[in-house]
Amino acid sequence: MARLILASSSPRRRELLQQLGLDFEIYSPDIDESVLDGEDVAAYVERLACSKAQAVLERFPDAIVIAADTSLGVDDQILGKPESKQHAFEMWQRISGRKHDVFSGVCVRTRKEKSSIVVRTQVEFQKLSLNDMESYWATGEPLGKAGGYAIQGIASRYIPRIEGSYSNVVGLPLHETAQLLQAVKALN
């Protein structure tokens, strides 16, 4: 099998991809993650995943590259990673006591092939009090996480149910990633 590279510095994506039993390297590209005018969350995450894959493929042209991007969608707006405590609180107020969607774009690229997909999972969040938000922020867990929470961590106490892929909410939908790898013959 060709050299397999995960185009991400996310420890969660690394841990998830290890669950597929693959040997891979990590190289995190630096790309512009600005949202384009009129871009919805599904198009955004797919574009970023494909841009990351392309950037890594340019550096390692004989590799098979896996790239992903995850963001939340609520009220037709994209919620990424919190930039500050205030920003995290604003995001939590938007998702508190309601459902929101988590989208991950995944792209697998080689020199000759490109396959991508967007996976959507609906997450229900309990109503959060100001004390809940203060306590959760103090854990440090929200930093660097789409929507300012980690379903696989402390935030699980605030999530009564999901509809769809759990690994998608963590940051890499494993079933769909395995299917994309099979499409480019990286898995047997």
- Domains belonging to the chain, first-starting first, are 4-183 (3.90.950.10)
Q: Are 180 and 116 in contact (CB under 8 A)?
A: yes
- pLDDT tens digit sequence for 47-100: 999 999 999 999 999 999 999 999 999 998 999 899 999 999 999 999 999 999
The model's pTM is 0.93
Strands 64-74 and 4-6: parallel
With a CB cutoff of 8 Å and minimum separation 6, the contacts of 42 are: 73, 103, 105, 118, 120
Catalytic site positions: 69
With a CB cutoff of 8 Å and minimum separation 6, the contacts of 185 are: none
C-alpha–C-alpha distance, residues 118 and 123, integer Å: 16
Residue 29: DSSP 8-state: -
